[in-house]
């Protein structure tokens, strides 16, 4: 029996066709993988199901009945729950209160005063957690949970609302491999309970592992709906991008020259171990490790975002001082943060304005921007990165997450930066764009630049770099040649099982 049936649904925004005759069904207790490039229509169909958007055309049926939610509250009441990338939890409250926040059990005192009934809250919380096989103490504050546990509690809230369909938007984006498997085990329990799941992700290998069927969207259309057993990752990627991609992380050969950027004895805090490394011209250096191990934190310090206790930073043989982001920009160092929404873009400004921010001196004369110079700088990058935008004047907030990320990268490629630092450069970026990003980084180093990127994506770390520095508990555990290592070795080093 179909739990959900979507038939010929279309949606337009200001003349742009976001969805065109989209049709697919979702069976009771089925896990459906929903994949596509940024801008393919995934977010639009999710928001229609969630009641945030109204469809222009087509029909949707939920358990055989017409489904036309008035708003998100109406959609939730009818059993559709969306689990967003950003956790919908209150960190300082315990698990129990987060689970039942919208319907906390109460009791009367003095016959007329309503207060929280703690005993009932604990009883209900334990019953819910036990029924889902979650071995967590309901009294534990959410801020003490790891990323996977927070994700699971977020989903448990949805189950508590008697969800018929749970839509997960990039649920594994911030999870370690072990945490991903923990989440997958939980998703399978939902399936066994009869709950349907729509699993949205750019990580094709995970989609192949967890899904029963896979729906591929491209340019607002359904390209294929296929059983997992009848396809493979290469075929899915080909359907997503409309062409064959030989490698997601192309690595162009570049001549490696002199030392360009050097870090000596960097310490985050007084008692921390020191960190030292360098990168040469023409070289791509990858930093990796488990979440919180120090790879991302190192880039945050070297970008001026965070203070560090002591250490020396050298650029082209001369010592530089890093206190603020302005210091690194002045020295020709670009930084792409992992939190693009709050740190990488100015949402209200246009695509063109965002890209030009570090390069205004190149396109202005007597305080006025030259339209010709601006367009000649911006347009080739938009084309090269395949940034999907109606125009240069479109506010960045109107773009999909992956296209916003490409705008952040484009602004540094447009600048005169000679060293580029990127924290999770392809986070939330589709498979086609991953190849485009790394092809451009290859061109950057081929022209004499240097790249340092931090990533938890091991295939990306190994395939797209010349060297890999592995962090473990704030220290460097290994410095490896990318061509001589594999994922198993990197994982052992990042877990402290092997130190080089």
CATH label of the domain that carries residue 334: 3.40.50.300
Answer whether residue 334 is part of any domain. Answer: yes
Asked, for residue 132, whether it belongs to a domain, the answer is no
> Does residue 41 register a pLDDT over 70?
yes
Of the candidates 135, 120, 133, the one whose C-alpha atom is nearest the C-alpha of residue 159 is 133
For residues 351 and 230, membership in a common domain is answered with: no
Q: How far apart are CA 318 and CA 275, in angstroms?
A: 19
Whether 360 and 435 share a structural domain:
yes
pLDDT value, residue 186: 84
The pLDDT of residue 22: 95
- Whether 378 and 439 map to the same domain: the answer is yes
State the pLDDT confidence band at 99, using cuts at 50, 70 and 90. Answer: confident
Do residues 40 and 148 share a domain?
yes
pLDDT for the residue numbered 39: 77
Residues 205 and 281 in one domain: no
Sequence-separated (6 or more) residues with CB below 8 Å from residue 127: none
DSSP 264-330: EEEESSTTSPPEEEEEETT-EEEEE-STTSSHHHHHHHHTTSS--SEEEEEETTEEE--SSHHHHHH
Residue 66 located in a structural domain: yes
Q: Please check whether residues 230 and 86 belong to one and the same domain.
A: yes
User: pLDDT-derived band of residue 483, with 50, 70 and 90 as boundaries?
Assistant: confident
Residues 223-281 have pLDDT tens digits of 999 999 999 988 998 888 776 666 677 777 889 999 999 999 999 888 888 999 999 99
The whole-number average pLDDT for the span 100-113 is 78
Q: Which two tokens stand for residue 66?
A: 């017409």
pLDDT of res. 151: 76
DSSP string, 3-58: EEEEEEEEEEETTEEEEEEEEEEEETT-EEEEEE-TTSSHHHHHHHHTTSS--SEE
Residue of 168, 222, 212 whose CA lies nearest to 192: 212
Identify the sign of the CA torsion 389, 356, 419, 299.
negative
With contact defined as beta carbons under 8 Å apart, do 464 and 284 qualify?
Answer: yes
Q: Is the dihedral of CA 164, 169, 288, 343 positive or negative?
A: negative
pLDDT, greater one: 341 or 100: 100
The predicted structure's pLDDT at residue 246: 60
**Mean of pLDDT over the chain:** 87
- Look at residue 134 in the predicted model and tell me its pLDDT: 79
Cβ distance 135 to 185 under 8 Å?
no
- Does 331 reside within a domain? yes
Q: From CA 448, how far away is CA 195, in angstroms rounded?
A: 53
What is the rounded average pLDDT of the residues 385-398?
Answer: 87
Average pLDDT of span 312-319: 92
Is residue 268 one of the residues assigned to a domain? yes
Structural domain tally of the chain? 2
193, 215, 241 - which closes a domain: 241
Residue 474 in any domain: the answer is: yes
Confidence of residue 369 (pLDDT cuts 50, 70, 90): confident
CA-CA distance, 269 to 194, in Å (whole number)? 50
Q: What is the pLDDT of residue 1?
A: 54
More confident residue, 355 or 498: 355
| 377 and 311 within one domain | yes
Same domain assignment for residues 220 and 264: no
Residues 174 and 300 in one domain: no
Same domain, 268 and 234: no
Task: Compute the average pLDDT of residues 135-146.
Answer: 87
Q: Which of 241, 273, 294 is the last residue of a domain?
A: 241
- On whether residue 105 sits in a domain, the answer given is no
Q: Are residues 300 and 330 in the same domain?
A: yes
Residue 430 vs residue 142, higher pLDDT: 142
59 in the same domain as 15: yes
Integer Cα distance of 70 and 81 in angstroms? 15
Q: Which domain holds residue 274?
A: 259-494
Buried b (16+ CB within 10 A) or exposed e, 154-164: bbbbbbbeebb
Q: Does the structure show a pLDDT above 60 at 395?
A: yes
Give, as one character, the DSSP assignment of residue 381. H
Whether 114 maps to a domain, the answer reads no
């Amino acid at each position: 029996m179909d739990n959900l049936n979507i038939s010929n649904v279309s949606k337009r925004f200001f003349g742009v066709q976001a969805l065109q005759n989209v049709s697919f069904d979702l069976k009771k207790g089925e896990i459906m993988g929903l994949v596509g490039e940024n801008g393919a229509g995934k977010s639009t169909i999710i928001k229609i199901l969630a009641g945030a958007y109204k469809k222009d055309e087509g029909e949707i049926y939920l358990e055989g009945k017409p489904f036309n939610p008035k708003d998100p509250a109406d959609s939730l009441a009818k059993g559709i729950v969306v689990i967003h990338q950003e956790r919908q939890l209150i960190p300082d409250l315990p698990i129990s209160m987060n689970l039942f926040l919208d319907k906390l059990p109460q009791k009367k005192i003095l016959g007329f005063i309503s207060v929280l009934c703690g005993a009932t809250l604990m009883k209900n919380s334990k019953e819910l957690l036990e029924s889902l096989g979650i071995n967590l103490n309901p009294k534990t504050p959410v801020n003490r949970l790891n990323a996977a546990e927070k994700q699971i509690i977020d989903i448990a809230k949805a189950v508590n609302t008697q969800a018929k369909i749970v839509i997960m938007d990039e649920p594994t984006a911030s999870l370690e491999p072990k945490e991903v498997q923990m989440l997958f085990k939980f998703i399978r329990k939902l399936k066994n309970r009869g709950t349907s799941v729509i699993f949205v992700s750019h990580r094709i290998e995970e989609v192949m592992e967890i899904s029963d069927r896979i729906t591929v969207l491209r340019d607002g259309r359904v390209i294929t709906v296929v059983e997992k057993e009848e396809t493979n990752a290469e075929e899915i990627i080909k359907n997503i991008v409309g062409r064959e991609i030989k490698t997601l992380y192309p690595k162009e050969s570049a001549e490696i020259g002199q030392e360009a950027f050097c870090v000596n004895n960097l310490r985050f805090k007084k008692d921390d171990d020191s960190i030292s490394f360098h990168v040469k011209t023409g070289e791509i250096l990858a930093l990796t490790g488990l979440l919180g191990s120090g790879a991302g934190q190192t880039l945050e310090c070297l970008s001026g975002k965070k203070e560090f206790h002591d250490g020396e930073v050298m650029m082209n043989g001369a010592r530089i001082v890093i206190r603020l982001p302005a210091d690194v920009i002045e020295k020709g160092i670009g930084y792409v943060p992992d939190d693009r929404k709050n740190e990488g873009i100015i949402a209200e400004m246009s695509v063109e304005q965002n890209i030009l921010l570090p390069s205004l001196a190149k396109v202005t004369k007597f305080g006025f921007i030259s339209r010709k110079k601006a367009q000649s700088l911006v347009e080739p990058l938009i084309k090269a990165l395949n940034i999907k935008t109606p125009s240069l004047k479109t506010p960045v907030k109107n773009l999909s997450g992956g296209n916003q990320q490409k705008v952040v990268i484009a602004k540094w490629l447009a600048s005169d930066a000679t060293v580029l630092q990127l924290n999770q450069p392809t986070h939330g970026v589709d498979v086609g764009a991953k190849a485009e990003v790394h092809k451009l980084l290859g061109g950057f180093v081929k022209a004499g630049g240097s790249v340092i990127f931090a990533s938890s994506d091991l295939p990306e770390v190994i395939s797209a770099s010349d060297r890999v520095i592995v962090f473990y508990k704030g220290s460097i555990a290994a410095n490896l040649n990318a061509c001589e290592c594999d994922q198993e070795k990197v994982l052992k080093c990042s877990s402290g099982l092997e130190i080089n």
